[in-house]
Amino acid sequence: MPVIKYPRIRDPLFYEWDRKAQKCGLRHTIYAVNGDQYTGEWLNNLKHGKGTQIWKSTGAIYSGDWKFGKRDGYGSYSILDPVTKEHKKMYTGWWENDQRGGRGVFFYPNGERYEGEWSNGLRSGWGKMLYSDGSIYEGQWLADQPSGEGVLLLPNGNRYEGGWKDGKKHGPGKYFYLDKGQLLEGIWVADIPKCGALVDFGRDNAPDSTEFPLPEIKLQDPAAVLAEARAMFDDSHN
């Protein structure tokens, strides 16, 4: 009897094209439809390993570690200066799930700089902020604001040591007026000292000390105060 040969069933061509398009291992530059380009390592069609990404719309560059298509590990991010047309480094440090996470340094356009810990792209943990006016804050951060314990050093040498909340002095703290040679120790609420004691502190060497020193508060024995009050009461009734 005749032998019937059935044609072998073949997958549609787009399956073959998709298989050949899958990226794995080290690849040369790959261009996206929107013009972005990536040069580096791949795994299962995802950026994975070492690589450099350039965004066409902004000119920004990221060079560093990738994990399953996201920035993860150590890397640096630079932006394009519209005036000089040169790239300026904005962040160098650790990344987690495509956001700043771990320790890193962030350079702000106005010249300010933050060195410390990050979480979910925000300053969180322990860090040091150098402001454009010369002030320096070093301490704890939460959700991009000083929160916890920290020290603020002002350009004139004065400093605050104590509690912070939502970027403001909050809780027990000490404010050293080194220019006047005085120390205010007390309780702050939302940047305002609510109660405390102001005493002289190195007043003799202060560059802008007050004309007269603060009077010393002499504490008396409670029993003596009570006896004096009773004596005054008795005299007023005699």
Partners of 62 in the β-ladder: 53, 77
- pTM for the structure as a whole: 0.76
- Give yes or no on whether 12-96 and 108-229 have one common fold: yes
Sequence ranges of the domains in the chain: 12-96, 108-229
Predicted pLDDT at 227: 56
Q: Are 96 and 103 in contact (CB under 8 A)?
A: no
Predicted pLDDT at 238: 55
pLDDT tens readout for residues 225-237 = 445 545 544 554 5
51: three-class secondary structure by DSSP? strand
Partners of 96 in the β-ladder: 99
Which among 106, 102, 108 has a CA at the least distance from the CA of 126?
102
216, amino acid identity? E
Highest mean pLDDT range out of 57-61, 179-183, 201-205, 232-236?
Answer: 57-61
Average model confidence (pLDDT) across the chain: 84
pLDDT tens readout for residues 19-61 = 555 566 677 789 999 999 999 999 988 999 999 999 999 999 9
Sequence-separated contacts (24+) of 70-75 with Cβ below 8 Å: 70/97, 70/98, 71/95, 71/98, 71/99, 72/96, 72/97, 72/98
Distance (Å, rounded) from C-alpha 226 to C-alpha 232?
10
Predicted pLDDT at 104: 98
User: Considering the domain 108-229, what is its CATH architecture?
Assistant: Single Sheet (2.20)
CATH number for the segment(s) 12-96:
2.20.110
**Tokens 């040369």, residue?**
28
